[in-house]
Amino acid sequence: MEALVGGLEAPWAVDFAPDGRIFITERPGRVRIVREGRLETAPWASLPVAHVSEAGLLGLALSPSFAQDRFVYVAYTYRTPTGQLQNRLVRLRDDPTTGKGVEEEVLLDGVLGSNNHDGGRVKFGPDGKLYWTMGEAERPPLSQDLTSLNGKILRLNPDGSVPDDNPFPGSYVFSYGHRNPQGIAWQPGTRRLYETEHGPSGGSLGCCQDEVNFVEPRRNYGWPTIKGDQTQEGMVTPILHSGLTNTWAPSGAAFVTQGPWAGSFLFVGLRGQALFRLTLDPDNPRKVVAFEPLFERRFGRLRDVVEGPDGAIYILTSNRDGRGSPIADDDRLLRVSVK
Ligand SMILES: [Ca+2]
């Protein structure tokens, strides 16, 4: 593991452009660029976010045809003129002349926000659709309310419209009953969707039980009715959870496509301060064959993990998010070359 760049502030998501640039969101509202191993001082774009508690600028995904359309999709929490926190998903364009982000176009707006539980992961699926994970904005009943977009995984066309083949006609909802999902990744070959989700943090709804789910369309993942190993007709239990006393606080997730870890599902933990590697049974999408934490407490809180175009694993720390113990160089983009 090497630190590629330092000096980031609470970075949240990272993606790679075909021209070699690395795009990184910082929660206070900046999209930063790493070019040839160096973090550029001036942001690529600045967005009018509400940077409070866990909210702010969150997910980012480059268009699968970025080389042609130069589109970049980001999600953020902002405050309306009347003081309400809301989440929106927008599309920016990389100006080829200035190399900056321009023309913010709002694709989906007005999703209830909160200081915490705004989900925020944005990724393109292998089906070319745009997925956006949305938390329940600290209102657990919304996860079970199909008229609300909170506590859901949302699926959009890249222009912001509802896909014709979504499971609930006319709705962005892909799956529901989620609490605060922050990681999604598709298994290479099978195209199965896996998700990480923060479990409850105490009080009347219990503790811990952070989840890894195998997500299928139209299914109900149980929050807040069931947690951990609890079952109920019509609700899906996680394939793995962190137990009643242990917390991962899982965020970004990725599948590895090459090298010794090929096929592994990776996710990172904030409180868990580790990279977690999970091996799945190729014949049973719900069966975990092996599970191990790596680099435990070596780099602090970890927010995102992706496989880079060079086959290395890239990880963002999150020690300057208000809950960590930052060192001088934080936050950092780390690079792991698996041998
Ligand atoms: Ca669940």
At 44-71, the pLDDT tens digits run: 999 999 999 999 999 999 999 999 999 9
Distance from Cα 222 to the centre of ligand 1, integer Å:
5
Surrounding ion ligand 1 within 5 Å at CB are 221-222
3-class SS letters over the chain: CEEEECCCCCEEEEEECCCCCEEEEECCCEEEEEECCEECCCCCEECCCCCCCCCCEEEEEECCCHHHHCEEEEEEEEECCCCCEEEEEEEEEECCCCCCEEEEEEEEEEEECCCCCCCCCEEECCCCCEEEEECCCCCHHHHHCCCCCCCEEEEECCCCCCCCCCCCCCCCEEEECCCEEEEEEECCCCCCEEEEEECCECHHHCECCCEEEEECCCCECCCCCCCCCCCCCCECCCCEECCCCCCCCEEEEEECCCCCCCCCEEEEECCCCCEEEEEEECCEEEEEEEEEEECCCCCCCEEEEEECCCCCEEEEECCCCCCCCCCCCCCCEEEECCC
Distance from Cα 93 to the centre of ligand 1, integer Å:
36
- Strand-pairing partners, residue 291, are 278
Q: Tell me what the mean pLDDT of segment 298-316 comes to.
A: 97
**Where do the domains of the chain lie, and which CATH numbers do they carry?**
2-336 (2.120.10.30)
Distance from Cα 92 to the centre of ligand 1, integer Å:
33
pLDDT at 205: 83
In this prediction, residue 120 has a pLDDT band, given cuts at 50, 70 and 90, of very high
Distance from Cα 149 to the centre of ligand 1, integer Å:
17
For 213-238, write each residue's pLDDT tens digit: 999 999 999 999 999 999 999 999 99
Instruction: Give the C-alpha separation, 281 to 229, whole Å.
Output: 20
Distance from Cα 178 to the centre of ligand 1, integer Å:
6
Is the pLDDT confidence value at 270 over 90?
yes
Distance from Cα 220 to the centre of ligand 1, integer Å:
8
Q: Enter the tokens of residue 56.
A: 């702010």
Is the pLDDT confidence value at 330 over 90?
yes
Distance from Cα 254 to the centre of ligand 1, integer Å:
19
Distance from Cα 170 to the centre of ligand 1, integer Å:
25
Q: Which residues contact 42 (CB under 8 A, 6 or more apart)?
A: none
Distance from Cα 20 to the centre of ligand 1, integer Å:
38
Is the pLDDT confidence value at 201 over 90?
no
pLDDT at 206: 86
pLDDT at 202: 83
Distance from Cα 95 to the centre of ligand 1, integer Å:
41
Distance from Cα 299 to the centre of ligand 1, integer Å:
28
Distance from Cα 257 to the centre of ligand 1, integer Å:
27
Distance from Cα 221 to the centre of ligand 1, integer Å:
4
For 138-168, write each residue's pLDDT tens digit: 999 999 999 999 999 999 999 999 999 999 9
Distance from Cα 49 to the centre of ligand 1, integer Å:
29
Instruction: Give the C-alpha separation, 233 to 283, whole Å.
Output: 24
Distance from Cα 114 to the centre of ligand 1, integer Å:
20
Is the pLDDT confidence value at 203 over 90?
no
Q: Enter the tokens of residue 212.
A: 């890894």
Distance from Cα 238 to the centre of ligand 1, integer Å:
6
In this prediction, residue 339 has a pLDDT band, given cuts at 50, 70 and 90, of confident
Distance from Cα 181 to the centre of ligand 1, integer Å:
10
Distance from Cα 229 to the centre of ligand 1, integer Å:
9
Average pLDDT, the chain: 97
Distance from Cα 234 to the centre of ligand 1, integer Å:
12
pLDDT at 287: 98
